């Protein structure tokens, strides 16, 4: 667990992407302090120093966050999830309605059983291969992610370099910023230092029943997506918006998947104003 910002500020949980870790890109502590935010991030099971929980579902994140909140003496908070963390943030909104004040999802994914969505349409080949294998060939998925995790442990930037071949130009612009690139690489290295289990379990969880109903969400939700995202296509967020009656949607032209790093401070400001 990592806590940054104002110790007496409004608590906001940041749920990292897939793969990712508690040390993922976030505003500097001085910025969070000025916004009056106490930002809490943690490693999902199997990432970083967190014990694996094979077979976990997306819904299980709500129990994890409730446990952390009780430990910290926090009874009401907001949540924000990036990419693969987005569905986990929605789980908290659905299953912890008395605790979650506001929810934001940045470049999130739709449910795998979305009847009126071509789930893989517009998605980069690397993500299609992994998510398809989660449904049809788990052994292949495990072997592929083991190899990628080992390469990433040896060279944290290797995963970014590999992803760059699939990126649209707005994402290339973001990750070529040296400071952001260093933060992302460090987050990948920390995420996979004990192996690929967290990454494997995330992919499997995203491609099976999430364990909760989106219709149960009644609190304020903001969905943000970069228009040119090809890792989690914008159609996923538009599908989520149709399922969540309280959702507001912002699709940003000239942005893509890693634009979530740049929009985070604005979203944190909204999340803390309840």
- pLDDT the model gives residue 66: 98
Say if residue 2 is exposed, middle or buried (CB neighbours under 10 Å; 0-12, 13-18, 19+): middle
The model's pTM: 0.96
Decide: helix, strand or coil at residue 252: strand
Q: Which domains does the chain have, with CATH numbers?
A: 2-271 (3.40.50.1820)
Instruction: Please name the residue ranges forming H helices in 20-108.
Output: 29-35, 60-72, 85-95
Cβ pair 239, 122 in contact under 8 A? no
pLDDT by residue (tens digit) across 105-161? 999 999 999 989 999 999 999 999 999 999 889 999 999 999 999 999 999 899 999
Per-residue pLDDT band for 179 (boundaries 50, 70, 90) equals very high
- pLDDT the model gives residue 83: 98
Q: How many CA atoms lie within 13 A of 60 on its CB side?
A: 14
| Mean per-residue pLDDT over the chain, rounded | 96
Say if residue 9 is exposed, middle or buried (CB neighbours under 10 Å; 0-12, 13-18, 19+): middle
Please give the average per-residue pLDDT across 243-256, as a whole number: 98
Please give the average per-residue pLDDT across 35-49, as a whole number: 96
pLDDT by residue (tens digit) across 48-85? 989 999 999 999 999 999 999 999 999 999 999 999 99
pLDDT for residue 259 is more than 90: yes
- H or E segment to which residue 78 belongs: strand 77-82
pLDDT by residue (tens digit) across 107-123? 999 999 998 999 999 99
Cβ pair 55, 138 in contact under 8 A? no
């Amino acid at each position: 667990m990592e806590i940054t910002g104002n110790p007496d500020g409004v608590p906001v949980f940041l749920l990292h992407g897939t793969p990712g870790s508690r040390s993922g890109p976030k505003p500097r502590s001085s910025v969070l302090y000025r916004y009056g935010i106490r930002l809490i991030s943690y490693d999902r099971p199997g990432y970083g120093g967190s014990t694996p929980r094979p077979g976990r579902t997306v819904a299980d994140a709500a129990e994890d966050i409730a446990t952390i909140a009780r430990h910290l003496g926090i009874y009401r908070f907001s949540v924000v999830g990036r990419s693969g963390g987005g569905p986990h943030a929605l789980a908290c909104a659905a299953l912890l309605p008395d605790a979650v004040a506001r929810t934001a999802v940045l470049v999130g994914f739709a449910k795998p059983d979305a009847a009126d969505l071509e789930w893989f349409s517009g998605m980069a080949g690397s993500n299609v291969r992994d998510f398809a294998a989660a449904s049809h060939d788990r052994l292949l998925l495990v072997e592929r992610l083991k190899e990628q995790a080992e390469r990433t442990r040896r060279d944290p930037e290797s995963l970014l370099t590999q992803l760059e071949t699939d990126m649209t130009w707005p994402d290339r612009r973001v990750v070529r910023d040296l400071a952001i690139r260093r933060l992302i690489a460090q987050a990948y290295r920390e995420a996979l230092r004990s192996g690929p289990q967290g990454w494997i379990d995330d992919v499997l969880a995203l491609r099976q029943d999430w364990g909760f109903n989106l219709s149960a969400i009644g609190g304020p939700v903001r969905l943000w997506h970069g228009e040119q995202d090809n890792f989690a296509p914008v159609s996923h967020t538009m599908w989520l918006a149709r399922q969540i009656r309280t959702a507001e949607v912002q699709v940003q032209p000239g942005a893509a998947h890693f634009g979530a790093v740049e929009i985070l401070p604005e979203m944190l400001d909204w999340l803390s104003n309840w």
